[in-house]
Amino acid sequence: MGMGETMNKALYFYFSVAALVLLSGSATVASAQVTADPDIRNIRPVVMLLVDTSGSMERMSGGALATVPRCAGSTAGVNERNRWASVIEGMTGTWNDTDYFCTAIDRRTLPLAEPDYAYYVPYHLYAPRALQNNDGILDVYLDRIKFGLMTFDSTYTFTGSQLLVPRTTFMARLADNAAVLGGYSYGDPRPLSFPGCATTFMVDSGARNESAPEGTLVPVSVDDTDLNATNAAIQAALFNARPHGGTPTAALLTDLRYYFDNHSSVTGADPFQACRPRFAVLLTDGRPDEDFRDARFNCDATGGCPYDRSETVAADLCRYSAGDAECQGLVDGLFVVAFDVDDAAAIAELDSIAALGGTGAALRATDRAELMRRMTEVLDRAAPGNTTRSTPAFVTGGATFSAAGGATQYEFNAGFRVGDSTTPWTGILERTQYVCNASLVPEAEPVASRVRFDQTLNLQPTRRLLTVLTPDPIDMSGNLIGTEASAVPLGSVSPMSAVTNRTTSVFNASIPHTYFGIAGGSPATRDVRRTRVVDWTYGTTADRTDNRLGDIYHSSPQSVGPPQIDIADESYNLFRRRPEVANRPTVIYVGTNDGILHAFVAEDFTDTISGRTYTAGQELWGFIPSILVQKLESATTSHQIMLDGTPVIRDVFYRRQAGDTPNGDIYHTVLVMGFRAGAPGYFALDITDPTQDPIFLWQYVGEVPAGRGGGGGARVTPLGYSYGAPAIGQVLVDVGGTLQERAIVLLPGGSG
């Protein structure tokens, strides 16, 4: 039973949407570019990422004795993650254990002019970027931070030249300095002199420039609408970098100062230049180079060192004011993340850089998970606070909630609270009651008596979380169809493979660890990881017992109650009188970035059929879309964007034709939802009776190769990230010569 057929392309290009029939089986798709509206409710801080690309990054964790990783070149053998792989995964997205592999490349195969030609440590290629999850720091903070990137240029002069180049010779080769022979140097060259030598030399290290093919300097976007392109450029620059050479930290900080003083992206071109916060994060695995201060040169003796010490440059960048307790220089703070640094002297120097940069001590990390936690801590300090990006929902409540017997209305406001080093990002969902008094003036209840659904969830003794499983875990991120499937031909035929007859299952620790993307380690270790993911999702781990509601970032709460009005459709009028519809509670549906669609009771309610009583804020159930299950483990260690879309809900009939007898059973209340940056695709549920488990209809990610649900190979016509809002409607179609009315959902093709 096919999932559907592709729309005729002329129709697709005209409307730039994909249509999919709600019967989990229908029509179409094609990939249209959809750009999210710019979010201008806050001024995003600039954060320049200063990433150490020294040669030690190619080694395994373990300090000075670290070895290079074992790499098989395919998933068939042993493939270890070195420091740089951990940085890549932490910043740009993880690979599932089953997808990860690495390949060691001898640098003698590089062109002679390359700065790292014949470098003694091989560089490593990793599994394709297309196999990465979008759970890296750059993915998660995409629309909260304006990122830029600098990596090391460790070439002091020119490839193939001696270490010391006289000033006149160097200045005659400035074009080479900015190109491959000079390591693509950024900023100004600096003079070098030392005792016993009358010649003044020139050097230029620090940051690579914007023309570098890998490890490229990526300036922050001038316009907030360019965030996606800038973010993609940073990820590509990191992925393509070949770590080598030393650790010219002082030179890098000097080039950062040059950047903030001179680059158009942060000077006059930025309309919010005067009030936009600026931060920098130095991510390094070692002690800064001495920059000719060692016994060979002793440049300090004559004041001829090319670069001030790292601490001195950090202090100048910050210019900390004790009276105001803040930086008043070019940056509002310079953070340091010390990754796998076990040398006491190095830690002391990095602590000093952070302290003089106005951020306290360096933050230490020893593995990818801890690295992501530290980076999350940094970025949450750069962009702190409680805020909201969603719109409120308004619900008319029962008269029993008004002391005067007048009409009651509820306003539901959602938001999020940024986490810190010990507390995850959490959601806020607050209900405010308004009652019309005797003078028909609406009065809001006091703040103290407002119902906080997030706090109610913390006290709820049990929860029911659901998901949909596939026979093969690889298909969890593909096209899935529920049990009410039916193919509806619309336009040209292009079958889309899907896994069919899927129903909801309870989300618990009995689900095999392979469904969570957990493959490495012993069976006992895998079980521990799987159980922690499940416990974290339910909110029973130590960090979530008081923070069970994930952050509500862009998802706006939507309300659904019993229909109140008859229309010119007798089937609908019969539908709304069905006992499970007429007596259903008003429910608030909202998505959170721990991957859950929540169904909350909007007000105290007694089910007249079962006699069961529900309280305001009670979670009836939560649904975790299949495509998100493998991302859950990443969410336990760093903030993730997962279920960030807004539900679209409508009462529709699946099919009917002229002459059909009125029938209330043909109508259903259907919810369709996308993920925004959380995942490419959409899913649909039948939520007609919210006191029962929802009925899974479908998960749709785009047209895929025959024989796979989507997880096992590249999609032929993939959807992009689902920033656009789907629309549910009815159309008239010709089915074998008979006109039928069918329910459809229009799906924007997505972004990216």
Percent of the chain with pLDDT over 70: 87
The pLDDT, as a whole number, for residue 186 is 96
CA pair distance 48, 378, nearest whole angstrom: 12
Residue 63: pLDDT band with limits 50, 70, 90:
low
Cα torsion 123, 127, 131, 132: sign: negative
Region 344-348: mean pLDDT is 95
Q: Is the pLDDT of residue 270 over 90?
A: no
The contacts of residue 551 (CB under 8 Å, 6+ apart) are: 416, 417, 425, 426, 427, 592, 593, 594, 639
Q: Is 627's pLDDT higher than 90?
A: yes
pLDDT at 161 over 90: no
Confidence of residue 583 (pLDDT cuts 50, 70, 90): very high
Mean pLDDT of 255-263: 95
Strands 393-397 and 408-417: antiparallel
Share of the chain above pLDDT 90, in %: 61
Taking CA atoms, 344 is separated from 126, 338, 352, 355, 718, in Å, by 32, 12, 12, 16, 50
CA distance 113 to 294: 28
> Per DSSP, which regions of 61-145 are E strands?
102-105, 123-126
With a cut of 90, say whether residue 728 has pLDDT above it: yes
Question: How much is the pLDDT for 296?
Answer: 87
CB contact at 8 A, 451 and 430: yes
Looking at residues 87-98, what average pLDDT do you find? Answer: 91
- Which tokens belong to 588? 């608030």
Output the six-digit token pair for 176.
């080479």
The pLDDT of residue 356 is above 80? yes
The pLDDT tens digits of the residues spanning 547-563 come to 999 999 899 999 999 99
Can you name the CATH fold of 46-57+134-384? Answer: Rossmann fold (3.40.50)
pLDDT score at 707 = 44
For the record, the structure tokens of 170 come out as 């160097």
Q: Which element (helix H / strand E) includes 346?
A: helix 344-356
Q: What is the pLDDT of residue 385?
A: 60
Q: What is the pLDDT of residue 37?
A: 35
What local confidence, expressed as pLDDT, does residue 115 receive?
Answer: 92
Residue 89 pLDDT greater than 70, yes or no: yes
Domain boundaries, the chain: 46-57+134-384, 454-727
- Provide the token pair at 498: 């899907």
Instruction: Please say whether the beta carbons of 669 and 686 come within 8 A.
Output: yes
**CA 206 – CA 253 distance, rounded (Å):** 7
* Total residue count of the chain as it appears in this document: 752
Predicted pLDDT of residue 98: 85
Point out the least confidently predicted range of 383-387, 487-491, 584-588.
487-491
Alpha helices (runs of H) in 135-214, residue ranges in sequence order: 137-140, 167-171, 174-177
Q: Per-residue pLDDT for 11 more than 60?
A: no
Distance between CA atoms of residues 276 and 202, nearest Å: 35
Least confident of 277-286, 324-333, 414-423, 504-513: 414-423
Predicted pLDDT at 421:
67
Q: What is the pLDDT of residues 173-193, one digit of tens each?
A: 999 999 999 999 999 999 999
pLDDT score, position 437: 74
Indicate whether 399 pLDDT > 60: no
Looking at residue 383, what is its pLDDT? 81
List Cβ neighbours of 500 (8 Å cut-off, separation of 6 or more): 1, 480, 481, 485
Give the model confidence (pLDDT) of 100-118 as tens digits: 999 999 999 999 999 999 9
With tokens 């017992």, the residue in question is 545
d(CA 533, CA 629): 10
Q: Is pLDDT of 29 > 60? A: no
Say if residues 340 and 383 touch (Cβ distance below 8 Å).
Answer: no
User: What tens digit of pLDDT does each residue of 297-317 get?
Assistant: 999 998 999 999 999 999 999
Supply the mean pLDDT for the chain: 85
* Helical axes 344-356 vs 310-318, angle rounded to 10°: 20
Q: Which residue has the higher pLDDT, 61 or 103?
A: 103
Residue of 259, 127, 137 whose CA lies nearest to 186? 259
The pLDDT score that the predictor gives to residue 33 is: 30
Kindly state the DSSP code that residue 544 receives in the 8-state scheme.
T
Q: Which of 606, 676, 599, 686 is nearest to 641 (CA)?
A: 676
pTM for the whole structure: 0.70
Residue 710 near residue 719 (C-beta atoms within 8 A): no
Looking at residue 653, its pLDDT comes to: 93
